[in-house]
Structure 1
Amino acid sequence: MSDYRRAQDAGACYFFTLVTHQRQPLLTQPRLREALRLAIVQVRQRYPFNICGWVLLPDHLHCLWQLPEEDADYGLRWSMIKRLTSQAVPSAQGVSLSRRLRRESGLWQRRFWEHRIRDEADYRRHMDYLHWNPMRHGLVERVADWPWSSYHRLVREGVYPEDWAGVADDMDAFGE
């Protein structure tokens, strides 16, 4: 096993990417969305964190979290969220011996990617990236058309204009 070191700064803001096992397009299914939502609610009750931004796509999710000042343990939170979601929606597929030995389900990839947000510009870049992601993947023509995103809340709060990012044919916001 690799000796992977993660940033662990109490009270920091982090950008995360989590992917389903073998990129199965499951996360936007109603039953799984609800299981994920309930897992997050349950974990936040015991281990609080603020969700600054979020987007849920069929096979992965991106989010920005602000941790409490005295806490840096996002790994515990993700472990619990992934476990609770997997328990609520058991995999229809068989699970490999390797995954069974690690007590893993067939829902999530083993690890997740994290990035500690360095400053306001970094925060804005990651927030824009996660909200633009459904357009990047060709799932919608406008950011506002994707239902599983914090973009709608942030428009109501005045953070984004309602027409932010225009239409897919009109822009290439992230050079992709």
Structure 2
Amino acid sequence: MSNYRRMRVAGGTWFFTVNLENRQADLLTRHIAELKLSIQKAKQRHPFQINAWVVLPDHMHCVWTLPANDANYSQRWRAIKKAFTKSLPEHPIVWQKRFWEHSIRDERDYQAHVDYVYINPVKHGLVKSASEWPYSSFHRDVRNGLYPADWAGKVEDFQAGERKAGG
């Protein structure tokens, strides 16, 4: 049995990828109201800042910042996953056991990961531009003046959450 260890940084900013067990399922978008409620409940109990989030049918990417004295993002993911699963009629096996996390190192790393979050529906061929995808905090960031409404990025500039050199 492997001994998996996660990095802990109190008050850190993190990029996450969380997948459904069945990568052909559409539970996350089909049950978006339940997912949003699950996130709200987790945030009330264990606060965190949502810097960016996109929900696709079978997975989601997000960037969070934890409170200054807290490094426990796993607790938050457990709460979200548990509440979402319980909200489904038959409580199926929903989630892959683990998730992928990356500690944001600096402003350039932060921007590359937020861009990756927002370009993801385009990368997967679900829409032609980020503004067309409804399940994204991109719309909030447009309203706040952080992105132009017509931002599309270039899909070829993004791979595995990292911006290619020179991109």
Query: What TM-score does the superposition give when structure 2 sets the normalisation length?
Result: 0.90
- 1:43 corresponds in structure 2 to 42
SS in structure 2 opposite 1:42? helix
- 1:174 corresponds in structure 2 to 158
SS in structure 2 opposite 1:139? coil
Q: Is 1:120 the equivalent of 2:104?
A: no
- 2:28 corresponds in structure 1 to 27
- 1:5 corresponds in structure 2 to 5
SS in structure 1 opposite 2:146? coil
Residue ranges of structure 2 left out of the alignment (5+ in a row): 161-167
Alpha-carbon separation, structure 2, partners of 1:78 and 1:43: 8
Change (3 A) 1:91 1:109: farther
**What is the number of residues matched between the two proteins?**
159
- 2:85 corresponds in structure 1 to 86
1:62-99 deviation per Cα after TM superposition (whole angstroms, max 9, x unaligned): 0000000000001011001100100011447xxxxxxx
Q: Who wins on radius of gyration, i.e. which is larger?
A: 1
- 1:77 corresponds in structure 2 to 76
CA RMSD of aligned residues (A): 1.7
Runs of 4+ in structure 1 off by over 4 angstroms are: none
Q: Is 1:52 the equivalent of 2:39?
A: no
Alpha-carbon separation, structure 1, partners of 2:42 and 2:77: 9
Q: Is 1:163 the equivalent of 2:150?
A: yes
Deviation at 1:39, TM superposition (A): 1.1
Change (3 A) 1:63 1:175: closer
SS in structure 2 opposite 1:27? helix
- 2:139 corresponds in structure 1 to 152
Report % sequence identity: 50
Matching residue's letter, 1:17:
T
Matching residue's letter, 1:153:
R
